[in-house]
Amino acid sequence: MKTKLLFLFLITFCLSCTSKKSSPEFIANASGRYFFNADEVIEVYFKEEQLFLKWRGQDLEPLKVNDTTFYVSELNEKLIFNTTENQIELAPKREHKDNVYIFQKLQEGQKTPSEYLAENDYKKALEGYVKIQQKDSLNPIIKERTMNSLGYRYLRDNQLERAIHIFKINTVLYPKSSNTYDSLGDAFLKAKDTVQAIDSYKQALTINPENRSSKKNLEKLTKKD
């Protein structure tokens, strides 16, 4: 017990002796935005040569362990910077179950798909989501239901253009899904674009002739007085 307490004391003492400041070279190379996951970033910045993180709306103040390693209490993780490879690696621990977690630095001007969406750059957003799907088709970020829910959220808020583009992206990600085209039809219908709505509902029924929603809306739109 005494040995363990001594060990903890020595670690605490060493950490307290470590300067919080980083070298100009490290600051220049480590500063920037890193992929925390496929559609979320963690930003590294410095104040008075001390490292800070911006993550999920929070400003975090990691504890410096050594020149390249920092402990983040909010994550209960040690971040190891590899500025040569432009990445951050989580220090191994039992909870990781031998998985290696690496946060790659974004290139200058690079954004996540959701950030491109926020800027109405739908082409870049689509490219980003397709890349996620190609890398990991089971990634929860690009689940059909997740994207569909996002589209309807915009639809409820009367952000019709954004909703239409979300549903269009979903049809590209899931071209064999009748539901994605049915949702796109709903968005066009609310935008009063009857022609596009009819085309979308027809496409949904081509994939699944039993799609009740598409069948019902198509009948209403093509019904002759």
Share of the chain above pLDDT 70, in %: 91
In this predicted structure, what is the pLDDT of residue 42? 98
DSSP letters for 38-61: TTEEEEEEEETTEEEEEETTEEE-
Q: Is the predicted pLDDT of residue 15 greater than 80, yes or no?
A: no
Q: Is the pLDDT of residue 52 over 70?
A: yes
Please check whether residue 90 is in contact with residue 77, taking contact to mean a CB–CB distance below 8 angstroms: yes
User: In terms of pTM, does the model score above 0.95?
Assistant: no
Q: Specify the fold of 113-222.
A: 1.25.40
Higher-pLDDT residue of 217, 8:
217
Sheet holding 63-64, edge to edge: 63-64, 69-72, 77-82, 87-90, 102-104
2-104 belongs to CATH 3.40.50: no
Two tokens at 114? 């959701």
Phi, psi (degrees; rounded to nearest 5) at 21: -80, 150
197 has a pLDDT exceeding 70: yes
> Would the pLDDT of 8 be above 90?
no
Q: Reduced to 3 states, what is the DSSP secondary structure of residue 80?
A: strand
pLDDT per position as a tens digit, 108-155 = 999 999 999 999 999 999 999 999 999 999 999 999 999 999 999 999
Hey, where are the domains in the chain?
Answer: 2-104, 113-222
Which whole number is the average pLDDT over 175-179?
97
13-17, 66-70, 95-99: range with lowest mean pLDDT: 13-17
CA 184 to chain centre: 23
DSSP letter string, 113-157? HHHHHHTT-HHHHHHHHHHHHHH-TT-GGG-HHHHHHHHHHHHHT
